[in-house]
């Protein structure tokens, strides 16, 4: 569905993205992640034909975004982070207007407007002014807009930003349902959202693709996949020095918790579990130990490792 090769975009001498290469297969829901300024929005705007590339190629459904933009636009539904709506229009008339702009006219216009209102739960507000709607409903109107022409590909940029927990759950479920009929490229800073929704993850860092795999596989490949937490009562400096000296421990962070207790977080070599050594160390020095466990690797940890330490 998406094929990107050597994609580059430069603004006034500043390179936003550099030689991007990735593909997204038909029917996938792919999480597109990266720190602020990493190049996510630039990439999505190029794929949506909102922005020309400086170099490289990108295609959607086999059509080149630079030379066949009309065909690409007819197959892409793009919901930007800040949806530009007309607050003085009512939901019904806005959707009819937007559908007509996208070439959806006559009976099909009414059919598609009715379909997206049902899909995005907008029936109750169809006669209300958009300016009077809550943030959650405005997000739904933006998503309905992106769906009006029944696109093959949906590009969603922070679709749940500013929503309350109930609204977030509703939008997540809607995205899951849409994934049964559309390919979806989802950009969000809520990493737990990606773990729940997406079949694969693309991580962009400093304008380049740093990782591409399932969240589970990325977690298994994190260099410091070993992580141990402990609560020990001891002096901070003595404890930290002793922990770092343990075999396989690459880094030890010690944070005071009050009454002499220290919360310890160890980063270790992959596949190394130092919990027995930590227990023996505490016993040897007579330090009380009240908690000792292995840290679970989640997407947040993977994201931090990749974007702070470089490519996996």
pLDDT in tens, the chain (312 residues): 999 999 999 998 889 999 999 999 999 999 999 998 899 999 999 999 999 999 999 999 999 999 999 999 999 999 988 888 999 999 999 999 999 999 999 999 999 999 999 988 899 999 999 999 988 889 899 999 999 999 999 999 988 887 888 888 888 888 888 888 899 999 988 888 888 889 999 999 999 999 898 887 887 666 545 578 999 999 999 999 999 999 988 889 999 998 999 999 998 876 788 899 999 999 999 999 999 998 766 777 778 878 876 444
- Residue 311: the pLDDT is 47
- Residue 171: the pLDDT is 84
Nearest CA to 91 out of 54, 116, 65 is that of 116
- Fold of the domain spanning 223-296: Alpha-Beta Plaits (3.30.70)
Query: In whole angstroms, how far apart are CA 305 and each of 91, 212, 218, 294, 296?
Result: 43, 14, 10, 17, 14
- Residue 221: the pLDDT is 64
- Residue 195: the pLDDT is 85
Decide yes or no: CATH 3.40.50.2000 for domain 2-219.
no
Q: Residue ranges of the domains in the chain?
A: 2-219, 223-296
Length of the chain: 312
């Amino acid at each position: 569905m998406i094929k990107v090769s050597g994609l580059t975009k430069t603004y006034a001498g500043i390179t936003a993205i550099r030689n991007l290469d990735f593909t997204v297969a038909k029917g996938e829901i792919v999480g597109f992640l990266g720190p602020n300024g990493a190049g996510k929005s630039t990439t999505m705007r190029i794929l949506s034909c909102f922005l020309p590339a400086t170099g490289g190629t990108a295609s959607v459904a086999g059509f080149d975004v630079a030379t066949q933009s009309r065909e690409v636009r007819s197959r892409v539904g793009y919901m930007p982070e800040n949806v530009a709506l007309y607050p003085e229009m009512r939901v019904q008339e806005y959707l009819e207007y937007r559908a007509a702009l996208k070439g959806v006219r006559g009976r099909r216009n009414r059919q598609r407007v009715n379909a997206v209102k049902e899909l995005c739960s907008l029936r109750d507000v169809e006669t209300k002014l958009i300016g009077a709607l809550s943030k959650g409903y405005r997000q739904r109107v933006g998503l309905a807009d992106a769906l009006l022409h029944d696109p093959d590909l949906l590009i969603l940029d922070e679709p749940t930003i500013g929503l309350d927990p109930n609204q977030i759950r509703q939008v997540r479920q809607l995205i899951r349902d849409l994934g049964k009929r559309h390919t979806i490229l989802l950009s969000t800073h809520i990493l737990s959202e990606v773990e729940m929704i997406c079949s694969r993850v693309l991580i962009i860092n400093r304008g380049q693709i740093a990782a591409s795999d399932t969240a589970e596989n990325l977690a298994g490949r994190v260099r410091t996949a070993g992580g141990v937490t402990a609560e020990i009562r001891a002096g901070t400096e003595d404890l930290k020095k002793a922990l770092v000296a343990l075999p396989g421990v690459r880094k030890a962070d010690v944070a005071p918790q009050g009454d002499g207790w220290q919360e310890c977080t160890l980063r270790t070599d992959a596949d190394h579990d130092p919990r027995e050594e930590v227990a023996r160390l505490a016993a040897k020095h007579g330090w009380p130990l009240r908690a000792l466990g292995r840290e679970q690797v989640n997407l947040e940890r993977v994201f931090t490792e990749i974007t702070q330490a470089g490519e996996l």
